């Protein structure tokens, strides 16, 4: 523990600063301090690399069992993913008797500091959500629950692409396992931060991966609005989510409202998985980019796939109120049977509603159809024109009629009708 501040001697001296933990990690700077631990910059003198060292307070115990520490560290270190802060080592310093973790050093701010300056845009929020949801999917697939998803545990490394500001990384996953979750909870401690606890954590129930999805929903909602969904003292904040859902602004797009409402459902069974969230967010990032470019996002692009959560906010159409999570494919899939060939009521016959939807094509699809018609017309006109030229090797000296004076060939059927329409469209 830190010694108290001495008004005469100056600020308290941190005994960790300047020390070499476990004869390997030379600590040279403080990054941040929390209730359970402090994080420092350090040099790994054995490998010659910069690392982050998380040193737990003297009152926090749990990784003293060397065999369990090795097995848990091996598991967590095997979870390599761009959205996860890599764990390198877990040990106990013989000199100070302090337990610590050694992790990848991420240069950049954490989300908590960014939000102190105000909310972030939907495009940045969507990309951050996609990163974090994918990272959670990776750890959930290995049976690990984070239990403390919050802005301070989201590190934002500067991106090197003009399309995004950061690459989001999730830190401190697996801490509950390393510190012996059963020992901590047996003393009545709740692992997590009051402002981001799930309802089941507040009730002291068994916690699964859906608790991380709930906390991620609160985190993203705060990122978009700049306000904590459940503010106030710890007890008031924690108990509020037992009786109400977080408020989701009505000015957010429908897809955002649906996804956030599903992620923050009070019933864990109603929440999507982290994988569902990651897939849904890919569409949100695309729509946010289109909105910033000044285009509409009402019609999905060709090949666009969206995962829509089951829960909908109040006031949305009743026919989708109980719809399950589903995949919506974009425009571009051909209908099973055309209206001209299928009998009314036969399988594959599009309804009036689907016909209206099929006609609402994106602009690039319309341009593609027009270009195809021009190419098709040229394919018919060119052979006919070549066949009409004099067979003298081009030495007659006669001047062929200009393209504008040459009549369009007569072609029967639907193709002829389309060519006549094209001729009328391009005629002066």
In DSSP terms, which residues pair with 326 in a beta bridge? 308
The pLDDT, as a whole number, for residue 317 is 37
Query: What distance in Å separates the CA atoms of residue 232 and residue 239, rounded to the nearest whole number?
Result: 11
48 dihedral zone (left: phi>0; alpha: psi -120 to 50; beta): left
Structure token digits, residue 129: 């959500």
In DSSP terms, which residues pair with 370 in a beta bridge? none
DSSP assignments along 150-171, one per residue: -GGGEEEEEPSSTT-SEEEEE-
The pLDDT, as a whole number, for residue 189 is 57
The pLDDT, as a whole number, for residue 158 is 92
Structure token digits, residue 281: 């967010």
Q: Known catalytic residue: 148?
A: yes
- CA distance between the termini of the chain: 87
The pLDDT, as a whole number, for residue 97 is 84
Torsions phi, psi for 70 (to 5 deg): -65, -40
Which of the following is catalytic: 89, 124, 131, 148? 148
The pLDDT, as a whole number, for residue 61 is 58
Q: Using an 8 Å Cβ cutoff, are 148 and 193 in contact?
A: yes
The pLDDT, as a whole number, for residue 63 is 56
Query: Per residue of the chain (428 residues), what is the pLDDT tens digit?
Result: 333 434 444 456 888 999 999 999 999 999 988 777 899 999 999 999 999 999 988 766 555 556 666 677 788 888 889 999 999 998 889 888 888 989 999 999 999 999 999 999 999 999 999 999 999 999 999 989 999 999 999 999 999 888 888 999 999 887 777 665 555 555 455 667 889 999 999 998 889 999 999 999 999 999 999 999 999 888 888 889 999 999 999 999 999 999 999 999 999 999 999 999 999 998 786 666 666 555 444 434 334 433 444 443 333 333 333 333 333 333 333 333 333 334 444 444 443 333 333 333 343 443 344 444 444 444 444 443 334 434 444 444 444 444 444 555 566 666 666 667 666 665 55
Q: What is the pTM of this model?
A: 0.63
Domains and CATH numbers, the chain: 20-104 (3.30.200.20), 109-315+325-329 (1.10.510.10), 363-387+403-426 (no CATH)
Query: Which of 199, 198, 82, 189 shows the shortest CA–CA distance to 150?
Result: 198
User: How many beta carbons lie within 10 A of that of residue 424, not counting itself?
Assistant: 8
């Amino acid at each position: 523990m830190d010694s108290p501040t001495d008004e005469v001697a100056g600020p308290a001296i941190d005994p960790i600063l300047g020390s070499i933990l476990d004869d390997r990690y030379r600590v040279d700077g403080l990054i941040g301090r929390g209730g359970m631990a402090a994080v420092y910059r350090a040099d790994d003198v054995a490998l010659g690399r910069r690392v982050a060292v998380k040193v737990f307070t003297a009152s926090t115990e749990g990784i003293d069992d060397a065999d369990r520490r090795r097995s848990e560290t091996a598991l967590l270190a095997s979870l390599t993913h761009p959205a996860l802060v890599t764990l390198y080592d877990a040990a106990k310093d013989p000199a100070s008797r302090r337990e610590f973790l050694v992790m990848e050093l991420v240069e950049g701010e954490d989300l908590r500091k960014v939000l102190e300056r105000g909310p972030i845009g939907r495009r940045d929020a969507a990309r951050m959500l996609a990163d974090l949801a994918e990272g959670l999917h990776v750890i959930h697939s290995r049976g690990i629950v984070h239990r403390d998803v919050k802005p301070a545990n989201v590190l934002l490394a500067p991106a090197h692409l003009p399309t995004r500001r950061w690459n989001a990384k999730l830190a401190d996953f697996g801490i509950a396992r390393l510190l012996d979750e059963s020992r901590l909870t047996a003393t009545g401690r709740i692992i997590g931060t009051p402002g981001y606890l799930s309802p089941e954590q507040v009730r002291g129930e068994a916690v699964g991966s859906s608790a991380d999805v709930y906390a991620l929903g609160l985190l993203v909602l705060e990122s978009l609005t700049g306000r904590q969904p459940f503010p106030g003292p710890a007890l008031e904040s924690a108990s509020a989510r037992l009786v109400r859902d977080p408020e989701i602004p009505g000015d957010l797009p429908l897809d955002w409202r649906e996804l956030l409402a599903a992620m923050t459902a009070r019933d864990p069974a109603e929440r999507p998985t982290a994988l569902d969230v990651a897939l849904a967010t890919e569409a949100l990032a695309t729509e946010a980019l289109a909105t910033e470019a000044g285009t509409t996002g009402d019609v999905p692009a060709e090949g666009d796939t969206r995962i829509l959560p089951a829960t909908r906010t109040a006031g949305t159409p009743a026919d989708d109120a109980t719809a399950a999570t589903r995949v919506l494919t974009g425009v571009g899939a051909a209908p099973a049977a055309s209206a001209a060939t299928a009998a009314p009521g036969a399988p594959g016959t599009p309804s009036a509603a689907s016909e209206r939807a099929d006609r609402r094509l994106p602009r690039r699809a319309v341009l593609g159809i027009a270009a195809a018609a021009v190419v098709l017309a040229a394919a018919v006109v060119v052979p006919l024109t070549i066949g009409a030229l004099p067979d003298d090797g081009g030495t007659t000296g006669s001047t062929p009629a200009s393209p504008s004076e040459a009549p369009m060939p007569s072609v029967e059927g639907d193709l002829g009708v389309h060519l006549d329409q094209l001729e009328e469209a391009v005629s002066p």
